Amino acid sequence: MKDTFLWGGSTSAFQFEGGANEGGKGVSFYDTISRSSKAAADNMESWMGTNKIKDYTVTSDFYHHYEEDIQLMSEMGFKSFRMSVAWTRIYPDGDGNVNPQGIAFYRNVFSLLKKSGIEPVVTLYHWDMPQSLIDRYHGWYGIETVHAFEQYAETCFRAFGEYVKYWLTLNENNMTIMMPGFGTGMKKTKDDPDYDIFKYTVFHNTNIAHFAAVRKCHEIIPDAMIGCMFASALAYPLTSDPEDVLLARNHNQKLNYDYLDLLTRGRYTPKNVFEMKQAGFTVSEEDSKLFSDPKSIIDFISFSYYFSVCTGTEQNAADENAGTVQMMYQAMSNPKLKKSTFGWTIDPTGLRILMNDLYDRYQLPVMIVENGLGVKDDILTEDKEVHDDYRISYLREHIKAVKAAVDEDHVDCLGYLPWGCIDLYSASGDRDKRYGFIYVDYEDAHKRYRKDSFFWYQNVIKTNAEELD
C-alpha cells in the first residue's frame, strides 16, 4: 500500500449534516418529507419502507458538531473524508441567488479538514434534489434542472477549488435507470405507455449533468481529479450452467458496465442506443459532442460495495419492495456466504474481484467510497462504550481484500472510505442501523462516543494496514 493511500470515511449531507432550517438553507426533497407524513407517503419510493423515521432535519447534526467530528477523524488518522454538499445550502431554490452563508459554512469545513491533514472528497449530488426544481421542472426530468446543476457545480468549483482536489458528480447514478421517478414528483410505473421515454429522458439528463460538471471541473480546477460514483451490483452465476453464467454476465453489464462504459468512452453502448431508439429517444449531436469531449471524461472510478448476489435460471425478480435501494436488484443469495444480522451477504473476495475487473477494463484508478457493516447490534454500555467486534471482523476481511488487490494484483486504488464513519441515518430514515466507528447518541444531545472499532481502525491507518489483527 502506498504511503499516499487515502484512508478515511464517508457520509452524505442529507443523512448526516442536519441544520435543515439554518444558515439560509432551502428546502430539499428530503426536507419536504420531514415536514409532512403525506409527502413521505406520496414521494418516497417503496424501498424506503414504512417503519422509518423519515425526518432528516437534524440527523447526526454535523452542522453544529463539525469541529468535534473533524477532531475525531484526525485522532483516528484519517487521510480523507468523503462528504456531500447540500445543493439547497448553496442555492436555496436550486438556481437563482447563491446563499453566502452556505458558501461560508463549507469553506470553514474544508479549511479545517485541510488544516487537519484530511483531503475532502466531495460529492456534488447525493440524492437531495431541491424541492423547488421538483415543483417547477419535475427534477431531472426537466432540462432546466440540468442547467441549474451546471450553475451549482461551477459555483462549487470556484468557491471550494482551493481546498477540494477530489470530486464526485452524482451518487450511484447507475440506479437512475431502475428508479427514474425518484425525486421527480412524478408517479410512473412500468405499465405506463410512456414509461420508457420517461426513463431515458431522466437518465440522459443526469448524464448531461455529469459530463458538463466533469468538463467544467477540468477547466476551473486543472489540478483536481473528478470521478463518478456507482452502486456496484456484482453477480456470480449460481451454478456452472451456461444459462446462469449468461444471466450473471448480463446482470453485471446492465447494472455496472453499461454506465461505466458511457462515462469512460463518452458514448452509450450499441445496445443502449438500440433500446433508446426503440423507446423513441434519440441523443442530440450537441450532447454527443459533450459526452465525447476529452475534458468530459472522468479521472477515476469510485463505487459502493456492500455485498454480491447470484443469478440463476429460476431466480427471483428484482425486488422493487426491498428494504433498501441496494437490495432492489437482488436476485438470489449466495449459499456459500454468511450474512450479516441485517441480512446482507458478506463477501470480501467479491470486492477484490470487482476492483480487478474495473481496473482491467478501464485502466483508471479506483476508490472505494462506501463499504461497511450496517447493523442494529450496537449497544452503548453504562460506561459509554460500544463493543463492535463484528464490525472489526467485517472491515478487517474487506481491507485484506483491498490490500491484496493493490499489493498482489497491482490495482491502482486511491483510497478506502467506508460508509457512515460516524453514525448517520440510512437513506430510508432509519437511525438504528449503524455503520460508524463513532456512536452518536441521538437521545442525548448527539454526543459522540468512540467504539472499539475506532481504536482498531486508528491502528490500521497508523500501520498502513500492516497490522489488521
Any domain includes 136: yes
Residues of the chain with pLDDT under 50: 45-47, 51, 317-326
Per-residue pLDDT, 311: 87
Which one of 67, 119, 154, 370 is the catalytic residue? 370
Per-residue pLDDT tens digits for 191-231:
999 999 999 999 999 999 999 999 999 999 999 999 999 99
State how far the Cα of 230 lies from the Cα of 303, in Å rounded to an integer: 5
Which one of 22, 75, 144, 172 is the catalytic residue? 172
State how far the Cα of 39 lies from the Cα of 32, in Å rounded to an integer: 7
For the record, the C-alpha cell of 299 comes out as: 479521472
Any domain includes 170: yes
Per-residue pLDDT tens digits for 352-382:
999 999 999 999 999 999 999 999 999 999 9
HSE-up (13 A, CA, CB side) for residue 270: 0
State how far the Cα of 209 lies from the Cα of 83, in Å rounded to an integer: 19
Q: Which residue has the cell 425486488?
A: 319
Any domain includes 187: yes
3-state helix, strand, coil in the chain (%, to 5): 45, 15, 40
Per-residue pLDDT, 322: 42
State how far the Cα of 298 lies from the Cα of 122, in Å rounded to an integer: 15
**Ramachandran assignment for 20, one of left (phi > 0), alpha (psi -120 to 50 degrees), beta (any other):** alpha
Per-residue pLDDT, 429: 83
Q: Give the chain's domain count.
A: 1
Per-residue pLDDT, 332: 79
Residue ranges making up the domain that contains 308: 6-462
Any domain includes 469: no
Distances (CA, A) of 151 to 63, 91, 156, 231: 24, 9, 9, 26
Task: Calculate the CA 367 to chain-centre distance.
Answer: 12
Sequence-distant (6+) residues with CB within 8 A of 251 are 233, 235, 309, 311, 329, 331
Per-residue pLDDT, 325: 46
Any domain includes 185: yes
Active site residue 370: yes
CATH number, domain with residue 166: 3.20.20.80
State how far the Cα of 448 lies from the Cα of 444, in Å rounded to an integer: 10
Three-state SS for 22-86 is: CCCCCCEHHHHHHHCHHHHHHHCCHHHCCCCCCCCCCCCCHHHHHHHHHHHHHHHCCCEEEEECC
Any domain includes 1: no
Any domain includes 468: no
Active site residue 119: no
Any domain includes 446: yes
CA-nearest of 146, 283, 118 to 212 is 146
Per-residue pLDDT, 291: 98
State how far the Cα of 173 lies from the Cα of 168, in Å rounded to an integer: 11
Determine how β-strand 447-450 pairs with β-strand 119-125: unpaired
